[in-house]
Structures are given as C-alpha cells and as structure tokens.
Copies of this chain bind each other. A is one copy, B any other.
Amino acid sequence: MPRTVSLAVIPGDGIGPEVVAEALKVLDAAVGAAAPDVVFDKVEYRLGAGRYLDDGEVLPAAEFEQIKSADAILLGAVGGTPNDPRLAGANIERGLLLKLRFELDHYVNLRPTVVYPTVESPLRDPGDVDFVVVREGTEGPYVGNGGNIRSGTPHEIANEVSVNTAYGVERIVRFAFGQASARRGKLTLVHKTNVLTFAGGLWKRTVDRVAADFPDVAVDYLHVDAATIFFVTDPARFDVIVTDNLFGDILTDLAGAISGGIGLAASGNINPDGTFPSMFEPVHGSAPDIAGQQKADPTAAILSVALLLEHLGLTDASAKVSAAVRDDIATRTGARPTAEIGDAISRLVLN
C-alpha cells in the first residue's frame, strides 16, 4: 500500500516560486528513485505579499487550518519589495512566516552550514566547515511581546520583551545535544550571559544541567559577539551551535555568507513531536529585484527538500538529494539559469 504524504507548498513572493519549482522537480525525482511507494499529495497555497496586495489576506483561517493538517510544508520565500508603501499596513513576516513557526510550534529551527570545496568563500581560508545551528523558534525576542506608548511623540517608549521559559529552553537544548551526540560531539551555546543575565542565566543553567545526560558531548560557551569573530576567523571549530531565536537569525545569515552565499543555505522549522507539520525553507529572502529572471540559485530550496525528506523518514531519498547537490556544486563553473540548476540536480538524483 502506498504511503501518502500531504505536502503544503507555499511558493511565496519574488524568487520563491522559481526556486520552489526546482525544489519540487528534485523532490519528485528523489521520491521516484528512492521511495517509489510514497505518493506526495501537493497542495499549493498562494500566500505572501502578492496575495496581500491582491485581496488583503495574509493567512486566512481556512487555509491555515488546511496547512495545519498537512504532513509537511515547503516554503519558498515571502515578502514584497522593501518600503513598498502598499505593504505598510501589513507585516507579512510576522503575520505569515512567524505565525506559522509559532502556531505550528516549530521550536527547532535547524540550519546546517557546509563550505563545499569548490565554492568560493569570502573568507581567505574558511577551513573544513561543517556545522549546524540549532536556533530556538518559538521564544526569545521574537515573541512579539512589547509595545509603544505615546507613539509618535517625543515621549514615546517602545519596549520589546524577550520571553524565555524553562520548558522552551530545555526542549531545544536537549534536541541540540542529540544532534551533537550524533555528529562530532561538540556543542556550543551562544548567548550574552554577561549582559542578558536573566535569559542568559536560564540558558546557561539549562545547558549545564542537560550536559549530564550527554557525557559524550563536549560543551562550550561563547558570547554572541565573540561567536561572530570565530565565524570569520575559525568557523571550522563549530559542530553544533544552540542559541536563541534572534542570535540564531543573525548567526545563520553570517554562516550563509561565509559558506559562499545564502543561495546554498537550507533550513527546517521543525516540530520534533509531530504535533504539527514541520516547514522547510531556504534561509534567503524573496529577492524581488531578481524575481522572474531565472537568476536565483535554487540550491538552498533543494537542500531544504533534503531536510524535509529526512524529517519524513525518507532517508535514502534525502541522501540522494544531498549527494546530487554535492556533485552538482563540485562541477559548477559559471552562472546557470534557475531551471538549469534544478534539471542538473534532478538528473544527478536519477543517476
């Protein structure tokens, strides 16, 4: 009996639809080759800035319910042209992307970084870089708590509250230890404990406590500012990094940059408990300036498919995608149109 996987697809804005088209091409190839019993039932949702401009909807309740009942979500990128005045009344990031991450309890935001030998890093000598950032996804400065009083007056006060719970910190820390244990056995907590003493204290104490359950993992701590230094001077030192939502946002863009481009950076917004569907997306944004020109690199979206397949337990299909990307990257010379990259990787998957 074939297994059916319902996949919600949100191509989004800008280059989103282009990279998602290639990602689905590769998905189909990999499933055909390595998981022929599995049927992907794909339902596309037109959400993002474009949709909002059309009918004023950001995430209608009915569509949200349908997405919630899917087995997994593939997302391209959402967001319109920066400073588009027609978008001033909406916050697509908070209303759509963060809403999905928070409501679907994607407490793990998994962001691997590899420097492929043939990809030119902006770093003179990046070394053998292969780490994963385990970014908390449902707490911290991202919760949206806070507000303004006396807005627009000389007496305005704008507060943002970072909320961190023992429950939330422990579950992500345990997940990160699990990753480290399955990798090279090294976990680095990144925070700013000397200044953010309340939140930092909770994170630090939690890591110290959970460490007792993972004697095979060596634990290290870095302040976030110092971590950025090591990202450019010695990124190969990292194996697994665990950090909060905001620091993880910053570090993973930096990681994308040092690994030779955000065009290769994949991510999974994961609910490990399986209560809700997990969501896979490239780290990059919608890049409206190059949209529709077949200039975008779909590799990050394709690698997100590898994460998606792995999450669904389709390990062979996932490995095929990763290997095909690695092989494709190894022979890259100049720029190719988006679809050509997707075609090339699909062919490699089928080999």
Interface residues of A (CB under 8 A from B): 79, 82, 91, 93-94, 98, 120-125, 141-142, 144, 146-148, 150, 152-167, 170, 192, 194-199, 201-202, 205, 221, 224-226, 228-229, 231-233, 246, 249-250, 252-254, 256-258, 262
| Residue in B157, B163, B246 whose CB lies within 8 Å of A192 | B246
Shortest Cβ distance from A246 into chain B, in angstroms?
Answer: 7
24 contacts between A and B (CB under 8 A): A94-B194, A94-B195, A98-B195, A122-B123, A122-B124, A122-B233, A123-B123, A141-B196, A144-B195, A146-B162, A147-B198, A148-B198, A152-B205, A154-B166, A155-B165, A157-B165, A157-B166, A159-B164, A161-B162, A228-B228, A229-B257, A229-B262, A231-B257, A232-B232
- Contact A156 B202, CB 8 Å, known A94-B195, A232-B258: yes
Residue numbers in B under 8 Å from A201 (CB-CB): 148, 158
Residues of B within 8 A of A144 (CB): 195, 197
In the bound complex, residues from chain B placing their C-beta under 8 Å from that of A229 are 253-254, 256-257, 262
Chain B contacts for A165, CB-based, 8 A: 155-158
B257 close to A232 (CB less than 8 A)? yes
A82 vs B79: C-alpha distance in the bound complex, in angstroms? 42
The 3 closest A-B pairs by CB, nearest first: A225-B253, A156-B166, A158-B202
Q: Which residue of B94, B160, B161, B254 contacts A232 across the interface (Cβ within 8 Å)?
A: B254
Q: How far is the CB of A74 from chain B (nearest CB, A)?
A: 22
Bound Cα distance from A78 to B252, whole angstroms: 30
- B residues less than 8 Å from A153 (CB atoms): 166
A205 to B163, CA, bound (A): 26
CA distance A205 to B120 in the complex (A): 39
* B159 contacts A93, C-beta separation under 8 Å: no
Most buried by B among A79, A170, A253: A253
Q: Which residues of B contact A246 (CB under 8 A)?
A: 192, 195
Question: Closest CB-CB distance, A266 to chain B, in whole Å?
Answer: 16
Residue among A120, A155, A221, A258 with most chain B CB within 10 A:
A258
Q: Which residue of B lies closest to A140 (CB)?
A: B160
Given the known inter-chain contacts A98-B195, A225-B253, please indicate yes or no for A159 contacting B163, CB distance below 8 A: yes
The distance from the CB of A140 to the nearest CB of chain B, in whole angstroms, is 9
Q: Are A253 and B226 in contact (CB under 8 A)?
A: yes
Interface contact A253-B228, CB-CB below 8 Å:
yes
Q: A93 is contacted by which of B91, B154, B195, B199 (Cβ under 8 Å)?
A: B195
Chain B residues in 8 Å Cβ range of A252:
225
Return A199 CB to nearest CB of chain B, in Å: 5
CA distance A285 to B28 in the complex (A): 52
Residue in B closest to A121 when the chains form the complex, CB atoms: B124
**Residue of B whose beta carbon sits closest to that of A120:** B124
- A141: chain B residues within 8 A (beta carbon): 141, 160, 162, 195-196
A155 CA / B258 CA spacing, docked (Å): 38
Q: Give the distance in Å from the alpha carbon of A249 to the alpha carbon of B192 in the complex.
A: 10
Task: Name which residue of chain B comes closest to A126, CB basis.
Answer: B122
Contacts of A232 in B (CB 8 A): 122-123, 232, 254, 257-258
Q: B198, A159: Cβ atoms under 8 Å?
A: yes
